[in-house]
Structure formats: C-alpha cells, structure tokens
C-alpha cells in the first residue's frame, strides 16, 4: 500500500495560498505593531496639498509627525497646529512665549515659501512636530485611505481565507493505493501435510511415499 500523490496543480495552489495567507498575516502583524507604536509615541502622518513649505516640504509630500506638549516647542521647528475654523496648518515656528493660561503657549509661524508670517498667532497646548518628510507619496497614501479600496482588500482577504479552508474533493483521509504484491520465496506459515486417499498418490512436501497408504494403482 502507498499514499496517493496529489496533482501538480493541487500542490501549486496549496503553496500559493500559503504564501498569500502568510503575507497577509505578516502585513496584518506589522500593521498592529505600527498602530501600537504610533499610539504609544503619538505618531501620525500629515499630507501636504499646498507648497507653502517648499522647498523644504513640497506639495504632494507626506510627513511623519509626533505629538508634543507646547512647552517643548522651539523656534525653527516645523509643526502642525489644529484650527477650529479651518484645516490644520503646518508651518515653521518663528517665536514662542508662554500664554496667560497655564500649560499653553502663543506661537507665531511662517511657511518657508511665504513672504510673511501667518496673520494671527496660535495659542496651543500641544502641537505635532514634523520628524521627517517624503516627497511625492501623498496621493498614494490618500488612495489607501479610500473606503472602497479598504472594502476591496477586506473582501479579497476573506475570499482567500475561505478558499484556503473550504473542503475540497479528496481532502478527506489520505487515500491508500494497493500495489502489486511482489513474489517471495518465504512461506507464510507451516504447510500441513495432505492425507492421501485410496487410489491416489500425494506428490509435494515429502518425496517418500508410503506404499501401504497409497493403495494399488489402476492400469
């Protein structure tokens, strides 16, 4: 008996599914680790749609920023400030002074490409300081946040997992295939002698014939 070998296509598809599932698992693990690190260290990503910080940070760039208290702001830092009536602004700090409210500071900022400082100063308790930036990746990151793309990736992952665990024909217990028995010279057990009947001669296990047991041989 021997095990039946799976087909070539079955082996290839199984290996392909394993590679895809392992890749998705690694990406998911890395995503969880990145999310934990980002939450613990206050990290996030800012996308630049304008060139007010050019040439330091051109339009279409993405920057990694870290949330810090206002007391750590220094002149020359590039920080992102939240605004209640508008989108956040990311400019370079030109001055810092304590505000009347404890824990808050008043800062002035100016974009590297702008000829003058922003019209109004900002009173902040915390800001997001730019750690480094990468040009030309903002559009790709923005597409990754598209709900349709996220839904599609989730659907593909679900299909792959279902395909991996869906029962297939022949996926039950391993089939055994009977092989042709090879001849052997060994006896499977002791051979019992065959008793001779009257008028018969037994030829086989013993070359000695008892004339009294064999009886007469007819002509």
Query: Residue 172, Cα to own-chain centre: how many angstroms?
Result: 27
pTM for the complete prediction? 0.59
* 130: nearest Cα among 74, 63, 191: 63
Give the CATH architecture of domain 45-135. Answer: Ribbon (2.10)
pLDDT at 14 over 50: yes
Output the six-digit token pair for 58: 């051109």
* 166 or 32, which is more confident: 32
Output the six-digit token pair for 91: 């400019």
Identify the pLDDT of residue 132: 92
Ordered by start, the domain boundaries in the chain are 2-40+144-165, 45-135
What pLDDT, in 10s, does the model give residues 157-212?
777 667 666 666 554 444 444 445 455 555 455 555 555 555 544 444 444 444 44
Arithmetic mean of pLDDT, 36-59: 90
Contact 21, 164 (CB under 8 A): yes
What pLDDT, in 10s, does the model give residues 83-93?
888 889 999 99
- Give the span between the Cα atoms of 79 and 46, in whole angstroms: 10
3-state secondary structure of 125: coil
Phi-psi region of 17 (alpha: psi -120 to 50; beta: other; left: phi over 0): alpha
CA Rg value for the chain: 42
Task: List, in sequence order, every residue forming a beta bridge with 98; answer none if it has no partner.
Answer: 105
């Amino acid at each position: 008996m021997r095990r039946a070998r799976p087909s070539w296509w079955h082996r290839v598809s199984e290996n392909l599914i394993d590679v895809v599932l392992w890749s998705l698992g690694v990406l998911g693990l890395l995503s969880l680790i990145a999310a934990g690190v980002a939450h613990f260290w206050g990290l996030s990503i800012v996308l630049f749609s304008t060139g007010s910080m050019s040439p330091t940070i051109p339009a279409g760039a993405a920057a990694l920023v870290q949330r810090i208290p206002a007391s750590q702001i220094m002149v020359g830092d590039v920080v992102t400030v939240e605004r209640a009536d508008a989108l956040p602004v990311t400019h370079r700090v030109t001055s810092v002074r304590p505000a009347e409210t404890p824990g808050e500071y008043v800062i002035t900022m100016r974009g590297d490409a702008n000829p003058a400082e922003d019209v109004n100063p900002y009173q902040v308790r915390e800001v997001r300081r730019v750690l480094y930036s990468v040009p030309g990746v903002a559009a790709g990151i923005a597409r990754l946040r598209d709900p349709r793309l996220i839904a599609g990736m989730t659907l593909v992952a679900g299909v792959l997992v279902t395909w991996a665990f869906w029962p297939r024909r022949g996926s039950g217990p391993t089939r055994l295939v009977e092989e042709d028995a090879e001849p052997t010279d060994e006896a499977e057990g002791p051979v019992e002698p065959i008793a001779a009947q009257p008028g018969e001669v037994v030829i086989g296990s013993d070359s000695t014939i008892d004339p009294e047991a064999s009886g007469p041989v007819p002509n």
